[in-house]
């Protein structure tokens, strides 16, 4: 199933952050989309943030690979997981586990993918601000085909996803 894995990661490469990076590039001021999201205020359907803590946050992927595709990231602008301090690292991990629990509760998926592309060569769209992908998967799902063919199909209205995931996010 090496081909399947390859296609999965190819899907992650063409996410939200690629087009967001284009916007930042056109802005020309080195703006980081994740820092902008982190500074955009409390969670709401408008900023796509489903959960916000002091050290980390979870945001909906604007161009999801699957319904409920989340990005979990530290508030601080750092490029690698190894650049986080101990408190940030623990907080990011706790937030990632909460994201997984929320997706299981909201979507009852057959499985989950969780992982990170570190560096542009590995497919990161915003290599300067580390982020973890968490997304639900279903047996026989074929969303990767839309990615491979370059046709983006939004699986679900993002506001619907925001409501579902916010409601399912575990209490602190
Ligand atoms: Zn940043």
Q: What percent of the chain has pLDDT over 90?
A: 45
pLDDT for residue 11 is more than 50: no
Contact 50, 169 (CB under 8 A): yes
Q: Round the average pLDDT of the chain to a whole number and report it.
A: 78
pLDDT digits (tens, 9 = 90+) for 52-98: 999 999 999 877 767 788 999 999 999 999 999 999 999 999 999 99
CA of 49 to the centre of ligand 1 (A): 15
CA distance 61 to 58: 9
Q: Is 131 one of the catalytic residues?
A: yes
Q: How far is CA 115 from the centre of its chain?
A: 10
pLDDT at 138 over 90: no
Residue 35 Cα to ligand 1 middle (Å): 4
Whole-number Å distance between alpha carbons of 13 and 8: 9
Alpha helices for 71-168 (secondary structure H): 86-107, 143-148, 158-168
127 C-alpha to center of ligand 1: Å? 9
Q: Which of 69, 129, 131, 133 is labelled catalytic?
A: 131
In angstroms, what is the span from residue 27 Cα to ligand 1's centroid? 15
Band of pLDDT at residue 148, cut at 50, 70 and 90: very low
- Spatial contact of 156 and 23, defined as CB atoms under 8 Å apart: no
Q: Which is it for the CA torsion 35, 41, 44, 49, positive or negative?
A: positive
Calculate the alpha carbon distances from 83 to 79, 89, 120 in Å. Answer: 7, 9, 17
pLDDT tens across 100-136, in order? 999 999 999 999 999 988 777 777 777 789 999 999 8
């Amino acid at each position: 199933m090496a081909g399947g894995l390859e296609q999965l990661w190819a899907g992650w490469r063409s996410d939200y952050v690629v087009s967001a990076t284009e916007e930042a590039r056109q802005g020309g001021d080195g703006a980081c989309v994740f820092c902008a999201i982190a500074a955009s205020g409390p969670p709401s359907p408008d900023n796509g943030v489903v959960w916000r803590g002091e050290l980390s946050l979870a945001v909906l992927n604007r161009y999801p690979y699957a319904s409920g595709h989340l990005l979990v990231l530290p508030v601080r602008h750092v490029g690698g997981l190894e650049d986080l301090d101990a408190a940030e690292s623990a907080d990011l991990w706790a937030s990632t586990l909460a994201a997984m629990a929320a997706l299981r509760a909201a979507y009852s998926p057959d499985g989950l993918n969780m992982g990170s592309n570190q560096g542009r060569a590995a497919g990161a769209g915003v290599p300067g601000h580390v982020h973890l992908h968490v997304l639900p998967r279903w047996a026989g799902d074929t969303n990767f085909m839309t990615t491979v063919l370059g046709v983006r199909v939004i699986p679900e209205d993002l506001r619907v996803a925001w409501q579902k995931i916010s409601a399912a996010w575990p209490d602190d």
